[in-house]
Structure 1
Amino acid sequence: MSQSTTPTLPVTFRPGRTRAVLLTLGVSMFVVVTAVALLLERLGPGERASFVLTAALLSGVLVLLSRPKVVADEDGVTVVNITRSRRLAWAEILKVNLRPGDPWVFLDLSDGTSMPALGIQPGIARETAIRDARALRALADSRGTGTESR
């Protein structure tokens, strides 16, 4: 990919549709379960509280699942996955991979390891994920070690 096709920095890649679905589901589920807890007359205060707490916990899990993103700036990339974040310098990224069947992008790193980047995932927006993976690959190629990755 040529330099002219790289996005302007800083740029954030995230699975927008997946995020919208998860957050909408989380809010909807919390509202419905809380409403049911409040409307059921046979429940005591402790049972109502447990309904609301359970709804809050399940909604919290969906919020965590909607967290992933990849933020690229002049100095490198910040990969935010479900529970962890990691900052990488451009030189640390040797290759950006999104092969057919992969659930998300994988970054081959200079220390010999591979790291998942859940912020780019083809789930319900395959074309967007492919475009984002190509853009991140172009950025890594132009700012990293110069190793061409295909």
Structure 2
Amino acid sequence: MTDQTDIPALPVTFRPGRTRAVLLGAGVAIFVVLTVIALLIPGLSTGERTSFIFTGALLFGVLLLLSRPKVVADEAGVTVVNIATSRRLAWAEIIQVNLRPGDPWVFLNLSDGTSLPAMGIQPGIAKAQAISDARALRALADARTPQG
């Protein structure tokens, strides 16, 4: 049974904040370092300098893409944004919210018999926060999913 005080106010967004900060910080650092190297090394052609900067931008883009995951819950349902996909779910579609020991992120068991990874809640760097977020999402799903 879920206590009403455990249920967060909607809308609420769950995302791995520390992981996101590390990825974006690393992306900026990589881009800046490669750009500075491209500008400071004497004797590089314009094409070589451009390729250094392009490589930095490409690596930043990859890390930006990896920092994209989030789970947004509102009154109508949940939007799960993973690295390359986004899916909108009604509350009734979510049967169970799982974060088992060793799981890389939360999995949502759905009414169609499938399971959807919700990468916006992941215990990698901030395990306690991920557990808290998973419990909050579970409480929201339990409160809004018809029992039957």
The normalised TM-score by structure 2 is 0.97
Is residue 22 of structure 2 the alignment partner of residue 2 of structure 1? no
Match in the other structure for 1:90:
91
CA separation in 2, counterparts of 1:35 and 1:146? 59
CA separation in 1, counterparts of 2:146 and 2:80? 19
Match in the other structure for 2:26:
25
CA separation in 2, counterparts of 1:145 and 1:3? 16
Task: Name the amino acid aligned to 1:31.
Answer: V
> Alignment partner of 1:102: what SS?
coil
Q: Which runs of 5+ in 2 are unaligned?
A: none
The RMSD of aligned alpha carbons is 0.8
Post-superposition CA distance 1:6-35 (Å, at most 9, x none): 000000000000000000000011000000
CA separation in 2, counterparts of 1:104 and 1:145? 25
Match in the other structure for 1:35:
36
Match in the other structure for 1:131:
132
- CA shift for structure 1 position 144: 1.1
Is residue 116 of structure 2 the alignment partner of residue 115 of structure 1? yes
Change in 2 beyond 3 A, CA 1:146/1:2: farther
The 4+ residue runs of structure 1 with deviation greater than 3 A are none
Task: Name the amino acid aligned to 2:88.
Answer: R
Is residue 69 of structure 2 the alignment partner of residue 68 of structure 1? yes
Task: Name the amino acid aligned to 2:106.
Answer: V
> Alignment partner of 1:94: what SS?
strand
Conserved? CA contact 1:94–1:145, under 8 Å: no
Task: Name the amino acid aligned to 1:4.
Answer: T
CA separation in 2, counterparts of 1:71 and 1:22? 20
> Alignment partner of 2:125: what SS?
coil
Conserved? CA contact 1:18–1:124, under 8 Å: yes
CA separation in 2, counterparts of 1:75 and 1:39? 53
Q: Which runs of 5+ in 1 are unaligned?
A: none
Post-superposition CA distance 1:35-92 (Å, at most 9, x none): 0011011210000001111110010000000010000000000000001110000000
- Calculate percent identity across the aligned residue pairs: 72
CA separation in 2, counterparts of 1:122 and 1:108? 19
